[in-house]
């Protein structure tokens, strides 16, 4: 296996385009463990830790650009992630344990596309976009279009995820993330990421995304529509939960059966909405 440490995005792209079985190495939290387990065996590793551009955070009037090499701990402590963007900070602060949060990266989590990880769902809830660099230049696309299946992305040969854009969202909106797991540092059995805005006691905006309930983060427009214009009463939450359960495709594993996950969805949704509504009224 060959190993390289490019110092610019362009150098990294050149290496990726000239080696058929090259893989990017970010924090290494997932890739190295998969290599040790014999699940992947890349012919070349392209380390990204010397590319300063990928670790840069840039703020604008529209939102915040986070470099793909931003570690989870930095995302969890980024004070500028407020309002609707708070859902991403909330998820980053809860996932895994400190050792993982100190090494795993935002871009690595997205490019791994593990349906059990939490940041992808939070990013979808925040309506985040990614910038991708490749042989044809740079392009931007929603996170939903990047994640196409379990451990599958829409990245083409020789492409590299460079940064993630988080829009500020509606004024007065709040972001919240809630997870349910067997133990605190384990993958969640189900997670709920949402952005909520209230006009008095009436919901004026809702975007709910589930994790660990299918091959990609689960977002159902019809479920959001049920909540918007409602007072988030039990019947409204139950109907939104029913639509999410109906659209879900959870797997059976050691963390819970598919049936158990479907049972959790409406219960966690109700709890997450209640907590977010309290935040919106603070």
- Enumerate residue ranges in the chain where pLDDT < 70: 282
- Asked if the 174-280 domain carries CATH number 3.40.1190.20, the reply is no
What is the structure's pLDDT at 195?
Answer: 98
Going from N- to C-terminal start, the domains of the chain cover 2-167, 174-280
Q: 242 in helix, strand or coil?
A: helix
How far the first Cα of the chain sits from its last, in Å, is 54
Can you give the pTM of this predicted structure? 0.94
Q: Which of 216, 262, 211, 258 is nearest to 241 (CA)?
A: 262
| Residue carrying structure tokens 């392009």 | 139
What are the pLDDT digits (tens) for 208-248? 999 999 999 999 999 999 999 999 999 999 999 999 999 99
- The architecture in CATH of the region 2-167 reads 2-Layer Sandwich (3.30)
Cβ neighbours around 34 below 10 Å, total? 15
User: For 135-223, where are the E strands, in sequence order?
Assistant: 137-142, 147-149, 152-153, 160-167, 174-180, 190-199, 202-211, 218-219
What is the structure's pLDDT at 30?
Answer: 77
What are the pLDDT digits (tens) for 43-79? 788 999 999 999 999 999 999 999 999 999 999 999 9
């Amino acid at each position: 296996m060959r190993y390289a440490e490019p110092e610019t995005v362009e150098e990294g792209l050149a290496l990726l385009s000239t080696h058929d079985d090259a893989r990017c190495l970010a924090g290494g939290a997932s890739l190295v463990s998969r290599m040790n387990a014999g699940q992947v065996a890349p012919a070349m590793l392209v380390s990204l830790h010397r590319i300063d551009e990928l670790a840069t955070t840039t703020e604008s009037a529209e939102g915040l650009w986070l470099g793909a090499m931003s570690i989870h701990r930095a995302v969890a402590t980024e004070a500028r992630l407020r309002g609707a963007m708070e859902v991403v900070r909330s998820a980053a602060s809860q996932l895994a344990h400190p050792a993982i949060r100190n090494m795993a990266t935002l871009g690595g989590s997205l490019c791994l596309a593990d349906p059990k990880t939490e940041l992808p769902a939070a990013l979808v809830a925040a309506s985040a976009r990614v910038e991708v660099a490749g042989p044809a230049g740079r392009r931007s696309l929603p996170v939903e279009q990047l994640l196409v299946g379990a451990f599958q992305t829409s990245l083409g040969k020789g492409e590299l995820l460079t940064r993630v854009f988080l829009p500020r969202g509606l004024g007065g909106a709040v972001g919240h993330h809630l997870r349910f797991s067997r133990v605190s540092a384990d993958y969640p059995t189900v997670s709920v990421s949402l952005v909520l805005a209230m006009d008095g006691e009436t919901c004026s905006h809702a975007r709910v995304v589930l994790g660990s309930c299918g091959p990609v983060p689960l977002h159902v427009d019809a479920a959001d529509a049920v909540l918007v214009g409602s007072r988030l009463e039990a019947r409204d939450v139950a109907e939104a939960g029913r639509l999410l359960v109906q659209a879900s495709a959870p797997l059976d594993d050691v963390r819970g059966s598919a049936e158990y996950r479907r049972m959790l969805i409406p219960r966690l949704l109700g709890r997450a909405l209640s907590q977010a509504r309290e935040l919106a009224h603070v």
